[in-house]
């Protein structure tokens, strides 16, 4: 292991044997954390070429169970976001793609820090079960065309250990390490086609479009190399997605979006991403037809119906979906006022995500318990005109003494005296 660390430290490419030795030794506990963290730091500074990244991904993917989805007919399509603020896309996109005939067999994660997780959002609907056996998972996708569940403990133990280590050793923001971490899990989860939503901007791992493109290209190359139709879109995190940030608030927004009353950026994203997933599923010939099909599934209510079916199959109390006023509201709903006029140029997603976490919507450590009703509901989006005294957003919380956090939320809104143009949510498409 010392030789491997030194070789990477000195800028050499590691061989397949060396990478496999590291992954198996680290999972079995023979290689201690201090050596693994030294190697992670060497990779952070020296990088890995495409071949090394692909070997690392393969070794991590095979460090645990891989799911065989061959009992589900047709192409299984999965979608993964690199993590955002207000990102409820899966809860809208999954049902829409499935309503158009796609097979969505998806394993999702929980939120940590400023980013939310689909599983937590789903659990805001009482009764919803996200732990399913492999048999239940397959049966549900065969029966209704969609299941979104938690990753089983047996999948990708190498990533679980390595990601936890990277989190506390300053080695998260490395393209080969992120690419191998995400792709090893996605490949182990068994879908034939994968759409990656790579976020960039303040609330994302990749702060610039260029870095996000590098990450997306690395992941598309790994997936394609291993025989999966892998594509990526690059989307903007220079403001939260949609209006709602926080678990039950986001589920309510997902419901509204499936009922044709969604915010512009979220609707645009699900149409573009849905069209790509339908093309990957060989259901449509081109992206224009795909967008039309997704739009129709919103208009005719079949996407919403699919959401209801999915929650029903997973034990959720669907009366909440039919009547979202049943979701409990937080005790305190504080309006946040603008203290000057201007055009809204940017909403710092990182600051909004962290503030939402602090008022109860997220967890700082994996052990924290989430308050499902807490969160932030935006009243203004980038491009809007704001007058002094206007409400920028509402903070929903059961906590008191949150004055300082309200100040931080206020400061996340950047106003400009210049006109502000609104760019499309999808900045690039890589396939
Ligand atoms: N998400 C992951 O799953 N892994 C990373 O390394 C970063 C984001």
Q: Which residues contact 76 (CB under 8 A, 6 or more apart)?
A: 69, 103, 104, 105, 141, 190, 191, 192, 193
Atom 2 in ligand 1: which residue has the minimum CA distance?
A: 182
178 CA from centroid of ligand 1 (Å): 5
Active site residue 390: no
* 166 labelled catalytic: yes
Question: Which stretches of the chain drop beneath a pLDDT of 70?
Answer: none
| Structure tokens that stand for 72 in this block | 């589900």
Q: Tell me what pLDDT residue 48 has.
A: 98
Report the predicted TM-score, pTM, of the whole model to 2 decimal places.
0.95
Distance of CA 354 from the midpoint of ligand 1 (Å): 18
Distance, in Å, from the CA atom of 302 to the CA atom of 183, rounded to the nearest integer, reads 31
- DSSP letter string over 263-275? -HHHHHHHHHHHH
Distance CA 128, CA 321 (A): 12
The pLDDT value recorded for residue 227 is 92
Kindly state the tokens that stand for 81.
């976001």
pLDDT of residue 115: 84
Atom number, ligand 1, closest to the C-alpha of residue 163:
6
**What DSSP element (H or E) covers 120?**
helix 118-123
> What crossing angle do the helices spanning 50-61 and 157-167 adopt, rounded to 10°?
120
Query: Among candidates 351, 382, 349, 361, which has minimal Cα distance to 84?
Result: 349
The best mutation among 114, 119, 151, 172 to test binding of ligand 1, ranked by most ligand atoms within 8 Å of the C-beta, falls on 172
Closest atom of ligand 1 to CA, residue 177: 6
Closest CA to 296 of 241, 254, 288: 288
Ligand 1 centre distance from Cα of residue 46 (Å) = 19
Write down the pLDDT at residue 205: 84
- Cα of 106 vs its chain's centroid, Å: 12
Residue 181: active-site member: yes
Structure tokens, 194: 């994968």
Whose Cα sits closest to atom 6 in ligand 1?
A: 178
Per-residue model confidence (pLDDT) at position 151: 86
Q: Is residue 171 helix, strand or coil?
A: coil
400: annotated active-site residue: no
The DSSP H or E segment spanning 151 is none
Tally of residues, the chain? 431
Q: Where are the beta strands (DSSP E) in 255-402?
A: 332-337, 342-347, 375-378, 385-386, 391-397
Confidence at residue 32, expressed as pLDDT on a 0 to 100 scale? 97
Nearest Cα residue to atom 5 of ligand 1? 178
Q: Which residue has the tokens 């994203």?
A: 269
pLDDT tens digit string along 155-171? 999 999 999 899 889 99
DSSP lists the bridge partners of residue 196 as 80, 232
Among residues 159, 197, 229, 265, the one annotated as catalytic is 159
3-state helix, strand, coil in the chain (%, to 5): 45, 15, 35
Give the active site residue among 76, 88, 160, 166.
Answer: 166
Q: What stretches of 168-301 show up as alpha helix (H) in DSSP?
A: 175-188, 209-225, 247-258, 264-280, 287-299
Exactly one of 8, 76, 79, 80 is catalytic; which is it? Answer: 80
């Amino acid at each position: 292991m010392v030789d491997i660390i030194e070789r990477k430290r000195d800028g050499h490419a590691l061989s397949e044997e060396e990478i496999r030795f590291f992954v198996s030794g680290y999972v079995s506990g023979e290689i201690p954390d201090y050596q693994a963290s030294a190697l992670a730091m060497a990779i952070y500074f020296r990088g890995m070429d495409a071949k090394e990244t692909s070997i690392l991904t393969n070794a991590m993917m095979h460090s645990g169970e891989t799911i065989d989805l061959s009992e589900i007919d047709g192409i299984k399509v999965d979608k993964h976001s690199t993590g955002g603020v207000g990102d409820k896309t899966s809860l809208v996109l999954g049902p829409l793609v499935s309503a158009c005939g796609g097979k969505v067999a998806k394993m999702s994660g929980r939120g940590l820090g400023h980013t939310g997780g689909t599983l937590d959002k789903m659990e805001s609907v009482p009764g919803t079960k996200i732990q399913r056996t492999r048999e239940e998972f397959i049966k549900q996708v065969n029966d209704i065309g969609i299941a979104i569940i938690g990753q089983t403990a047996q999948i990708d133990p190498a990533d679980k250990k390595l990601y936890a280590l990277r989190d506390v050793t300053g080695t998260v923001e490395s393209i080969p390490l992120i690419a191998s971490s995400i792709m090893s899990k996605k490949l182990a989860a068994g879908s034939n086609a994968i759409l990656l939503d790579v976020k960039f901007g303040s609330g994302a791992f990749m702060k610039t479009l260029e870095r996000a493109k590098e990450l997306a290209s690395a992941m598309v190359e790994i997936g394609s190399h291993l025989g999966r139709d892998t594509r990526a879109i690059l989307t903007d995190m220079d403001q939260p997605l949609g209006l709602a940030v926080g678990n039950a608030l986001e589920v309510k927004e997902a419901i509204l979006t499936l009922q044709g009353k969604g915010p512009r950026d979220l609707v645009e994203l699900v149409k573009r991403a849905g069209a790509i997933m339908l093309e990957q599923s060989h259901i449509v010939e081109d992206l224009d037809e795909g967008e039309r099909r997704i739009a129709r599934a919103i208009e005719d209510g079949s996407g919403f119906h699919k959401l209801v079916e999915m929650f029903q199959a997973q034990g959720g109390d669907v009366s909440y979906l039919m009547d979202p006023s049943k979701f409990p509201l937080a005790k305190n709903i504080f309006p946040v006022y603008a203290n000057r006029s201007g055009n809204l140029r940017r909403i710092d997603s990182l600051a909004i995500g962290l503030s939402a976490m602090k008022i109860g919507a997220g967890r700082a450590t994996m052990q924290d318990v989430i308050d499902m009703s807490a969160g932030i509901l935006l009243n203004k989006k980038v491009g809007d005109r704001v007058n002094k005294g206007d409400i920028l957003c509402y903070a929903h919380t059961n906590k008191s003494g949150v004055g300082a956090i309200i100040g931080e939320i206020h400061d996340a809104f950047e106003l400009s005296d210049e006109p502000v143009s609104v760019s499309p949510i999808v900045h690039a498409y890589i396939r």
